[in-house]
């Protein structure tokens, strides 16, 4: 099923559930908060299990790819990256875990400071859903082979800036890697 469609469905169901709940009742508010926190803890546990599996596999196969330049950080040239499967996967999991904490901070601001309670319901399940749909979880938790869309480095949808400038995403072809290594922006080992 298409993840965008399921995201919309979860939001619509979440909005309907939030309309039915009486957030003025302290018990309802307590259980809503507890459900949200439990979902975030479950999401974190999923990534913790994946992180454990990555470390136990200890796959030291080398990966070479070219990252596109990031104009927001002042990069003008693409750079070649040389890393291992283990380090790449750990980087992906760490990025997802940072996303959990970013979401918690935003939700804390919206709920505690701005007094919004509806987002607690709508955002509860979406974290678990996105964790279970992530490429790294598919590989290490479900045991899906890392081929096709799951081949490392993972292909990501083009961002807003890439769509405007027509920039390419991560490149793995031999010519691109060699050109980046020769241009002086290569050989950067990710530790």
Q: Taking residues 16-24, report their average pLDDT.
A: 91
Cα dihedral sign for 9, 13, 19, 24? negative
* Domain encompassing residue 42: 3-61+85-167
Question: What's the pLDDT tens digit per position in 59-73?
Answer: 999 998 888 877 777
CA 81 vs CA 87, 121, 145: distances in Å:
12, 40, 23
Specify if 132 maps to a domain.
Answer: yes
| pLDDT over threshold 70, residue 184 | no
Specify if 37 maps to a domain.
Answer: yes
Specify if 78 maps to a domain.
Answer: no
Specify if 32 maps to a domain.
Answer: yes
Question: What's this model's pTM, rounded to 2 decimal places?
Answer: 0.83
> How many domains, in total, are found in the chain?
1
* pLDDT confidence tier of residue 75, bands split at 50, 70 and 90: confident
**Best-predicted range by mean pLDDT among 88-102, 115-129, 158-172?**
88-102
Specify if 179 maps to a domain.
Answer: no
């Amino acid at each position: 099923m298409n993840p965008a469609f399921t995201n919309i469905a979860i939001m619509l169901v979440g909005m309907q559930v939030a309309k039915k709940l009486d957030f003025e009742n302290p018990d309802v508010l307590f259980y809503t908060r507890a459900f949200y926190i439990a979902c975030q803890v479950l999401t974190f546990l999923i990534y913790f299990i994946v992180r454990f599996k990555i470390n136990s596999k200890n796959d030291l196969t080398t990966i070479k790819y070219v990252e596109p330049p990031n104009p927001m950080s002042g990069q003008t040239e693409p750079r070649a990256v040389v890393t291992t499967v283990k380090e790449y996967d750990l980087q992906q999991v760490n990025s997802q875990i940072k996303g959990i904490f970013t979401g918690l901070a935003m939700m804390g601001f919206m709920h505690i400071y701005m007094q919004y309670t509806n987002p607690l319901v709508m955002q509860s399940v979406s974290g678990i859903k996105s964790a279970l749909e992530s490429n790294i979880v598919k590989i290490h938790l479900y045991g899906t082979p890392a081929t096709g869309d799951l081949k490392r480095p993972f292909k990501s949808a083009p961002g807003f800036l890439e769509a405007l400038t027509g920039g390419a995403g991560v490149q793995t072809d031999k010519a691109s890697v060699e050109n980046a290594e020769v241009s002086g922006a290569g050989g950067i080992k990710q530790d």
